[in-house]
Structure 1
Amino acid sequence: MKLILAALFACTSSAAFAFPVTVQSCNRSVTFDAAPTAAVSNDVNLTEMMLALGLTDRMVGYTGISGWKTLAPDLREGVAALPELSEKYPSREVLIGAGTDFYFAGWNYGMKVGGEVTPESLAAYNINVYELTESCSHIMPKSKISMEDMYIDLLNLGRIFGEEDRAQALVQGYRDDLATTLAGLTPLPAAPRVFVYDSGQDAPFTAGRYAMPTAIIEAAGGVNILDDIEKSWAEIAWEAVVERDPEVIMIVNYGDVTAEQKIAFLKDNPAFASISAVRNNRFVVLEYVEATPGPRNIAAVTKVAAALRGN
C-alpha cells in the first residue's frame, strides 16, 4: 500500500510541477503557467502540427488557409469541428473576439514585421505567441535551415501543451522514418543542383538559405542553387537561375496558378531552353504543405530523393 501511495504521490507531484514551462521562440523566452485551452494556428502547415499532436480539443479555430487555397481534403476532415476565423492573416480583433489565449504563427505565416499582429501587440490581451522557427530569420540572425527546425517546433508545442511525451514519440518516429528512407537511397556521385520555383513570371519567388525546401533538398542528397541567399523566401532575377543551371526544378503547388501551368511556362519560354532541368524535363512537384515546415516534410524528402535519382 505504501508503494502504491508513493507512486500516486509521485505522479501527482510530477503533474503539479509540469508548469510553468519556458520555451525559446525566436529571440524571446516565453513562459506558460498552464497549457493553452483556446489556441489558434495560422496556415496549413502549422495547423497540421497541431493536428499531429492531437491538440484540436485545445483550439478555438484556425486562420490563413482557404484564402491561399491550400486546404487538403484530409486536413479539412481534421479541422471539421473548428471554424476558420480568417481566410488570410487574422486581425488582432479576430483573435481577441475568439477568446484566444495562444497563437501559433510565424513571420510571414500570420504575422508581419511592423504589423498589427505581433507577440508584443497580443501580449496586452494575454495572448501568448509561439513563432515558427523557420520564420525567425526575418527578425534575428539564424543558422541555416535543417530538419531540426521542424522537430524543435513540435517538441516546443509538446511542452507548451503538456504533451511532451507525445511530441517526443512523434519526432522520434519522424527521425526513424527519415533514417530508413536515407539508408535505402542509391548514393549519388554528386549533389544535383535544384531550383525551387514558388511563383512569379517576371521574377521568380524562390527558397533561400533559411526556407524549408533547402533542408528537404539537402536531406534528399541535392543542393539548392540559391542556398547562399541570406533569406528564407525571396524574389530574384531569372538570370541567376539560368546561370546556375539547375538539374532539377522543384515546383511548389498552391494558389491560382497550378503546378502544370508553372511547368508549361518554364518549358515554353525560349529564355529557359538552356536550363538542364527544362531541357531534360526534370521537375518535382511539392504541395505547399510539403514545402513548408510540418509533418509532411518527411514524405517530401522521399519524393525529392526519387526525383534526384531519376525515379
Structure 2
Amino acid sequence: MKQLAIAAGLSLCASALAAETTVQSCDRDVTFDKVPSAAISNDVNLTEMMLVLGLADHMVGYTGISGWKTLDEDMRAGVEALPELSSKYPSKEVLIGADADFFFAGWNYGMKVGGEVTPQTLAPFGIDVYELTESCIHIGQKAKVGMDDMYNDLLNLGRIFDVEDKAQALVDGYKAELAAFTAELDAGDTPLRVFVYDSGESTPFTAGRYAMPTALIEAAGGQNILDDFEKSWATITWEKVVERNPEVIVIVNYGNVTAEEKRAFMMSSPAFADIDAVKNDRFVTLEYVEATPGPRNIAAIKTLAESFWAQ
C-alpha cells in the first residue's frame, strides 16, 4: 500500500512537471506550473478558441458576450454547461468570486489599460492572464497584424492547457486549408480597396493596421484602405474614407444596429454617393466572431474572397 501511495505521488509530481511551461503574453513571460482548472474567457471569439481546443472542462464560465453579441447555434451548444459570469467586461470581484485561476482576455477584449482588471491586479489573487496577441498593440509595439496572431494564441493555449498536439494539428489544418484556397483563388492583378465599417454614424469605428480584418482582407486579395493607420480598432473621419474611395465595404455585424441598417445608412447618404463601393452597391458582411481573431477566420477569408472576385 505504501508503495502504491509513493507511486501515486510520483505520478502527480510528474504530471505537474510535465505541465510546467512558459509562454509569451504581449510583453510578459508567463509561467504555468500546472494546467488551469478554473479558467474564464472573455468575448465570443476568445471563448471559441477555448472551445475548439476542447477546454470547456477546464472552465468555470465566460464573460463579455450577451452584452453586445448573440450566440449562434454552434456557440450555444459549446457553452451550454457554462455560466456567463458577466454580460460585458467582468469586474475583479466577478473573477475572484468564481475562484478563477486563469483569465483569457485582451486589451479592449475584457481589459482596459489602467483599468481594474489587468494581469497585475489579478496576480495577487492567483489568477494568471493570457492576453490576445492582436490586442498587444494597446500596451506596446508589435508587428502588423497577420494570421500568425491567431495561430500564436491557439498554440500558446495548447501549451498552457497541455493540449499542444491538438493545437498544432488545428493550426496546421487552418494553414493547409488557407493555402489550398488561395492557390485556387482567381484574384485580380491589383488588390481591391476595402473599408471596414464596424459602427458609428457621425464618425466611423474601423480596423487599422493592427486589427484582424486587415489580415483577412489581404489573404482574400484586397487591401485595407487604412492599413497605414497605426491603430487596431479605432475611430477615423468619414472624409478619410471618401478620400480613399473603397471599392468594397466590409460590414462587421453585431450590436443593436444591424448590418443592413449600416449598409442603408451609407447607401442613402449624399456624402458617400461618389464612393465606388456605394455606387456599385458592393458590401460584404462578416459576423463579429469572424472579423476578430478566432477559429472562424479561415471561413471569413473565403467569404471575403468570394465577394471580392465574384463574376
1:170 and 2:170 aligned? yes
Percent identity, aligned pairs only? 69
Other structure's SS at 2:284 match: strand
The gaps in structure 2 that reach 5 residues or longer are 1-10
Residue type of the alignment partner of 1:189: D
In the alignment, which residue of structure 1 is the partner of 2:6?
none
C-alpha RMSD of the superposition: 1.4
Deviation for aligned residue 1:19: 2.9
In the alignment, which residue of structure 2 is the partner of 1:200?
200
8 Å contact from structure 2 (residues 16, 33) kept in 1: no
In the alignment, which residue of structure 1 is the partner of 2:125?
125
Other structure's SS at 1:68 match: coil
In the alignment, which residue of structure 1 is the partner of 2:99?
99
Partner Cα distance (1:46, 1:19) in 2? 22
In the alignment, which residue of structure 2 is the partner of 1:138?
138
> 1:30-74: CA deviations, max 9, x gaps?
000000000000000000000000000000000000000232221
Partner Cα distance (2:286, 2:187) in 1? 22
8 Å contact from structure 1 (residues 70, 288) kept in 2: no
Deviation for aligned residue 1:16: 5.9
Q: Show the 5 A alignment for 1:179-218.
A: 179-218=179-218
In the alignment, which residue of structure 2 is the partner of 1:65?
65
8 Å contact from structure 2 (residues 61, 84) kept in 1: yes
Other structure's SS at 2:260 match: helix
**What count of residue pairs does the alignment treat as equivalent?**
301
Partner Cα distance (2:176, 2:15) in 1? 29
Partner Cα distance (1:264, 1:239) in 2? 19
* Structure 1: 4+ residue segments shifted above 3 A: 11-17
Other structure's SS at 2:125 match: coil
Residue type of the alignment partner of 1:175: K
In the alignment, which residue of structure 1 is the partner of 2:28?
28
Partner Cα distance (1:159, 1:14) in 2? 16
Deviation for aligned residue 1:17: 4.1
Partner Cα distance (2:76, 2:92) in 1? 25
> 1:212-239: CA deviations, max 9, x gaps?
0000000111100001111101100000
In the alignment, which residue of structure 2 is the partner of 1:261?
261
Deviation for aligned residue 1:13: 9.9
Residue type of the alignment partner of 2:91: S
> 1:139-167: CA deviations, max 9, x gaps?
01010000000000000000000000010
Deviation for aligned residue 1:18: 2.1
> 1:156-184: CA deviations, max 9, x gaps?
00000000001000111111111111111
Partner Cα distance (1:272, 1:18) in 2? 58
> 1:75-117: CA deviations, max 9, x gaps?
0111000000000000000000001000000000000000000
Scaled by the length of structure 2, the TM-score of the pair is: 0.95
In the alignment, which residue of structure 2 is the partner of 1:116?
116
Other structure's SS at 1:202 match: coil
Other structure's SS at 1:124 match: helix
Other structure's SS at 2:227 match: coil
Other structure's SS at 2:255 match: coil
Q: Show the 5 A alignment for 1:269-308.
A: 269-308=269-308
